[in-house]
Amino acid sequence: MSSWDYLIVTASNARQARAYEAQLRLRRELGLLPQVRESFVVADLEGRRIGSGGSTVYCLAQVIERERAQVAEDVLRRLRILIVHAGGDSRRLPAYGPCGKIFVPVPGETQTGLPATLFDLLVPEFLGLPQGAPGRGQIVVASGDALVRFDASNVRLDRPGMTVLGSNAEPAEASRHGVYCLGADDSIALYLQKPAVEEQKAAGAINAAGKTALDLGVMSLDAEAAAVLLNRFAFAGEARDWILQHGLDLYREICCAMGSAATAESYIRSARGSGSTWSEEMLAEVYPALRAIPFHVQLVPDSSFLHFGSTRQLVESGLALVEQVEGTLAINNSMAGGATITGPDSWVEGCRLSAPLELAGWNVVVGVDVDEPLRLPREACLDVLRGRDRRGGAVWFVRCYGIRDQFKDSIAQGARFCGRPLLDWILAVGIAPEEVWTEQERSLWNARVFPAERDAGGYRRWLWMYAPESASEEEKRAFISAERYSAAEMAILADQEAFHLRRIEMR
């Protein structure tokens, strides 16, 4: 018997939604989701980033449409729905942009022949959550970019309104996340978004043991609370245009309005202070309805977070997942002949090796064919991605970068490439910035610095990119004249089917 009516995975656009649906279909066919009656993917409206709140409301609207219901609250009272937010460009984890963070391969074995992914570890935890109160419906909303481990056996999700999961943490750690100021009887007095330690103290968020209630990114709503969101943020008219333009964040524009101690002034201050571009008038207009939703927290003991949001976190969380202090994680690889992998604190995944791979430390190697000895310097990342060029021909994108490079950073924000300032790298190669960017905003995400090769082994021609000052004049001329692509272009041109098929074939 199905215990959940719907499992919904969100995506940022139609292209990503198709890739996610293919992965869901595989798992349905293999019988891995027996407790779910129906699962599907919802892409952000018009391919626009509408935020976790906007996406949640849009998902609920899709359910109402599928159920052919006239009164939203009535139909939601008889449904259990799990929404896992997994949209995003993976700008901090470029090697896994084609599959999205929710389907990042992780260490572990499965009985199905499919490579284990974050989805396969994370979603069963959510599906194991207890039911809400009978006759009140239940909508669980969770984030899909971090592995949250907790014991759900003592969790209660049957209170009216919204119940969130939290865990006691050090105030310094909590300052990078959402924070709950606790009231009486599991109620929440105030929600704070990324508050400094001093702000936590002033708001009474730090308990007698010196701990702060940290948001775990999991919430459960009953039908009445969900109906409030649908009514206030329906995708129609002015509200639809506003959400498309400004987005709607579950925590910033919604939770900051809730809690027994929240006021219109504190809500506006907190929302705007954490980056909301909503006008004060719009925030004030939605505040009364949100403030009226009962708001509770369940503190979960012994919980843990493993983040897979950035390239460095990929290595750190992978090692933690197998309870390994240091070493190299080798996942979904094909090893033959004289293949060996040596080096500390590194990640090697989806590679075919028939020769030694030597890593100096903190390396990430993804999708690479190693048929001759290969050595990478410390913190060098290399991934080779199959896709198509601008004319539709088959190519292999070569991506050399550093483990600390942040693809979302602009030049003004200190963007780095291969471990050094991006502009310094460009000057060292001798290419004009106008040949790297066509957009006004200049970031590593839209910088055309990644060559395309007709052969998967062509990446060896570009290994000098980790140290451009060592490149010969011939190598620099080859780079300047090469057909180069940005990470933003490759996100569209990547062959997502080939990405997953490579891993399945190797297993």
222 contacts: CB under 8 Å, gap ≥ 6: 132, 133, 136, 137, 138, 139, 160, 161, 162
Of 218, 209, 189, the closest CA to residue 298 belongs to: 218
Sheet strand arrangement including 340-342: 340-342, 356-359, 374-376
Q: Position of tokens 């002034």? A: 265
CA atoms within 13 A on the CB side of 68: 0
Closest C-alpha to 411, from 425, 430, 397, 431: 425
Q: What angle do CA 31, 156, 82 make, to 5 degrees?
A: 35
284 CB-contact burial (10 Å; exposed 0-12 / middle 13-18 / buried 19+): middle
Which sequence spans correspond to the domains of the chain?
4-305, 379-506
pLDDT tens, residue order, the chain (507 aa): 459 999 999 998 899 999 999 999 999 999 999 999 999 999 998 878 899 999 999 999 999 999 987 888 999 999 999 999 998 888 899 999 889 999 999 998 777 778 899 999 999 999 999 999 999 999 999 999 889 888 887 899 999 999 999 999 999 999 989 999 999 888 999 999 889 999 999 999 999 999 999 999 999 999 999 999 999 998 777 778 889 999 999 999 999 999 999 999 999 999 998 899 999 999 999 999 999 999 999 999 888 888 898 999 999 999 999 887 678 999 999 999 899 999 999 999 999 999 999 999 999 999 999 999 999 999 999 999 999 999 999 999 999 999 999 999 999 999 999 999 999 999 999 999 999 998 888 999 999 999 999 999 999 999 999 999 999 999 999 999 999 999 999 999 999 999 999 998 888
Whole-Å CA distances, 45 to 10, 232, 492: 11, 17, 18
Which stretch of DSSP H or E encloses residue 476? helix 473-481
Is 265 in contact with 74 (CB distance < 8 Å)? no
Which two three-digit tokens encode residue 90?
């993976």
- CA dihedral of 73, 74, 79, 84, whole degrees rounded to 10: -20
- Buried b / exposed e over 31-55, threshold 16 CB at 10 Å, is ebbeebeebbbbbbbeeeebbbbbb
Question: How many whole angstroms separate alpha carbon 122 and alpha carbon 147?
Answer: 6
Rounded-to-integer distance, Cα 347 and Cα 359, Å: 10
Q: Decide: helix, strand or coil at residue 353.
A: strand
Q: Beta strand 420-421 with 346-349: parallel, antiparallel or unpaired?
A: unpaired
pLDDT in tens, 396-406: 999 999 999 99
Q: Which two tokens stand for residue 152?
A: 């759900």
Q: What was the pLDDT predicted at 2?
A: 57
pLDDT in tens, 278-331: 999 999 999 999 999 999 999 998 888 888 989 999 999 999 998 876 789 999
**Geometric angle at alpha carbon 123, from 121 and 129, rounded to 5°:** 115
Q: What count of Cα atoms within 13 Å lies in the side-chain half-sphere of residue 196? A: 4
CA 150 – CA 306 distance, rounded (Å):
12
